[in-house]
Homo-oligomer: A and B are copies of this chain.
Amino acid sequence: MYRTHNCGELRMANVGEEVTLSGWIQGSRDLGFMMYTDLRDRYGITQLIFTEENTTKEVFESARTLGREYVVKVKGTVLERKSKNPNIPTGDIEIDVNDLEILNASKVPPFTIEDDTDGGDELRMKYRYLDLRRKPVQENLIFRSRVAVETRSYLSQAGFIEVETPVLIKSTPEGARDFVVPSRMNKGQFYALPQSPQTFKQILMVGGFDKYFQLVKCFRDEDLRADRQPEFTQIDCEMSFVTQEEILNTFEGLTRYLFKTCKGLDLPEFPRMTYDEAMEKYGSDKPDTRFGMEFHNLNGVAKGKGFPVFDSAELVAGINAEGQADNYSNKDIKKLTEWMQRPQIGAKGLVYVKFNTDGSIKSSVGKFYSDDDLKAWGEEFGAKPGDMLLILSGEEEKTRKQLNELRLEMGERMGLRNPQEFKPLWVVDFPLLEWDEDTERFHAMHHPFTSPKKEDVERMMNGDHETMKALRADAYDLVINGVEIGGGSIRIHDRDLQSRNFDLLGFTREEAMAQFGFLLGAFEYGAPPHGGLAFGFDRLCAVMMGQNTIRDFIAFPKNNQGRDMMIDAPSPIHDEQLDELCLGIHLPKEA
C-alpha cells in the first residue's frame, strides 16, 4: 500500500498516528542535523521532517538526495508542529519520517512547478504533464469536472436523458469547415466529425425522446485565431412540445444552479433584451452589461451644422466616458484615436467632447460647433461636469461595431469589467436570415433549422425578398459579461417550411435532399414541435472562473497551428495506411 492518507488531510486530531504518505517533493530545507521537506499531491502539501535522532543514517542520507519532483513514499508519525503554518490546512502538523522509499527520480523540470511559473506557452504545452501539476491548472480542470457533474445532475433531475450521438457522421458543406475521415470500407467516401449534433438531436425529438442532453465534443476545422480550439465541448439540449419561454426558464435555471453550486453565488433573474435593442444600445449582440455606457444617436443634434464628416455620415453616435475628462490629455486622446484606427477596428477618426469640471467645454470639433451645440449633445447623454463624450461617425453598421470596441476598451480602462461580477443577459428575437451583399444570398443567422416566429410563418412562405430580411426567429443567446455562452432556437418541424427555408438559403432541391433528406423525411412521420440550445462548455467554465481563455480549461489543448505539442500531432502516416484508404497526397510545389 502506497498511502494511508493523502497529502491534504492530516490534522491535529491525527497527532500520534503512524501514517504512510506518497507524493512529489515540492522542496527541502536542509539544516544539517535535520531536514524539512514539503510533500505534495493533488490534495495538498504536508511537511516532512527528517532528524538524525529518529531516522536511520541511511534514510537521512537518502533524503538528502531528493530533488524537486522526485516521487517518494514515506512512513512516519504525525507530530504537532512547533511553528504552525496557518496558510495551509495541514499547517498544524508534520510527519516525523522513519522510513523513505524513492519511487521515481526526476530530472530538473524545464520550468518551475509553481502557481506563477517561468515557463513560456510552447514549453508548457510540450511538457504538459508538468504544467498539469501546477495548482491553477489543476484547479481549472477540477472546476470543469465539477461543473460537468452539476450540469448532469440538474438536467437528469429535470427529466433529460443523456444520449450519445455519433462522431462519425456526414460532411455538409454548410457552415464552418468539417474535419473529414476517409472510410476504408467504403472507398473514396468520407465521414465528417460533427460541428454539432444538431440534426441528431432533432431526430431524437422525432423519435419521442422528449428531453435530450449531452456533453459532447464538437469539431471545426477553422483557422485558429484568438481563443478557438479545433475540438471543443458543448452542453447540448433539445426539448419537445416546448415554447421559447420554457426553454429559457429551464436553462436560466441550469445557469443559476451552476453558479450557486460551483461558485456559491445567487444570480438574480436574467434580464432579456431584443437583438434590435442590443445592436442599438451596444452595437453588439453580446453586450457586456456589467456597465452602462450605452450608445446615443447624435444624428439629430450633430448633423446639418456644417461639419462635412458628420453631415455625410449615415450615423453619428457616441458614448459617455463618465468622469474621464480630466484623465485624458491631448496625447492620450491621440493614442486612443490611433488605437481605433488600427486595421482590426478601422475607424477613420475619433471625436471627443470634454465637459471639464471648471465648466468649460473642449472638443476636437470645437470650430464647427458652438458650446451650446455641444451642450445639446451632452444633454443627450445626461453628461455631467467631468464627463467625456467619444463620438464616431460613418456607415451605420460599421460605426456601431467600432463604437462597441471603443465602449469595451473604455470599460476595461475604467475598471468597469470586474471578472468576479457576473451579468447574464438573454438576447432574443434574432433575425431569421441575414443578407450577404458579397455573395448575394441569404445566410441563416442561427442555423438552417431555426423556425421563424409563428406570426412570421405566413410571410415567410409567401413574401417577397424584402419581407425575408424582416423575418424574426424564435432564437436566443445567453450572454454573460459580454461573452456568448450559447444559444438556441425553436426549430422548424414542418416539411414544407423547412423546404422553403432551404430554398431561401440557396439550396437546390437536390442538394437539400442529398444532405438533409433524412430530416425532411422524418418531418413526414409525425415530428413534434421542438426546440433547444447549446452552451459552449469550455467557455462557460472560463467565464465562471473570471478567465478569458478556454485553453486553460482544456487538459490537452492544441496550439494555433492545430498541433498537440506534447504528442507532436498531426504527423505523417505510413504509405500502407494511405494505400488502404486509396488516398494520395499532392503537396503544392514550393515556389
Contacts and interface: CB of A to CB of B under 8 A. Distances in A.
Given A149-B152, A185-B562, A187-B588, 10 more contacts: A71-B526, A103-B529, A132-B204, A141-B161, A141-B163, A145-B161, A145-B163, A166-B556, A170-B567, A583-B583
Interface stretch (A11-19, A217-225, A425-433): A217-225
A582 B6 CA distance: 52
B2 A242 contact: yes
Given A209-B132, A582-B586, A177 B184 contact: yes
A585 B188 contact: yes
B241 A524 contact: no
A2 to B, nearest CB: 4
Within the oligomer, what is the number of copies of this chain? Answer: 2
A303 B276 CA distance: 93
Interface in A38-53: 40-43
A528 B103 contact: yes
A573 B180 contact: yes
A191 B570 contact: yes
Chain A contact surface mostly? loop
Interface string A122-153: 00000111111100001001100100110010
Interface in A181-214: 181-193, 199-200, 203-204, 206-210
Given A188-B585, A526-B105, A181 B210 contact: no
B69 A525 contact: yes
A131 B204 CA distance: 11
A224 B193 CA distance: 20
Contact of A171 (B192, B522, B571): B571
B587 A584 contact: no
B556 A165 contact: yes
Contacts of A129: 203, 206-207, 518, 522, 525
Nearest to A241: B2
A541 to B, nearest CB: 11
A564 B161 contact: no
Interface in A487-510: 493-494
A142 B178 CA distance: 31
Which 6 pairs show the lowest CB-CB distances between chains A and B? A132-B207, A106-B526, A170-B569, A2-B241, A189-B570, A69-B526
Contacts of A164: 217, 233, 554-555
Nearest to A580: B177
Nearest to A495: B104
Interface in A558-578: 558, 561-564, 566-574, 577
A365 interface: no
A370 interface: no
A231 interface: yes
A38 to B, nearest CB: 14
19 contacts: A1-B246, A69-B525, A103-B493, A127-B521, A129-B207, A132-B203, A132-B206, A138-B209, A142-B161, A145-B163, A149-B156, A168-B230, A171-B571, A171-B573, A181-B570, A188-B572, A217-B217, A518-B568, A584-B586
Interface string A1-45: 111001000000000000000101000000000000000111100
A61 B162 CA distance: 40
A107 interface: yes
B168 A231 contact: yes
A152 B555 CA distance: 19
Contacts of A183: 562, 570
B180 A577 contact: yes
A190 B572 contact: yes
In this complex, the member of A70, A163, A570 whose beta carbon has the largest number of chain B beta carbons within 10 angstroms is A570
A528 B104 contact: yes
A362 B323 CA distance: 108
A264 interface: no
B231 A189 contact: no
With a 10 A CB-CB cut-off, give which of A129, A192, A586 has the most chain B CB atoms.
Answer: A129
A167 interface: yes
A556 B525 CA distance: 18
Contact of A572 (B152, B189, B206, B233): B189
Contacts of A279: none
Interface in A520-565: 521-529, 554-556, 558, 561-564
A243 interface: yes
B186 A562 contact: yes
Given A132-B204, A138-B209, A167-B167, A587 B188 contact: yes
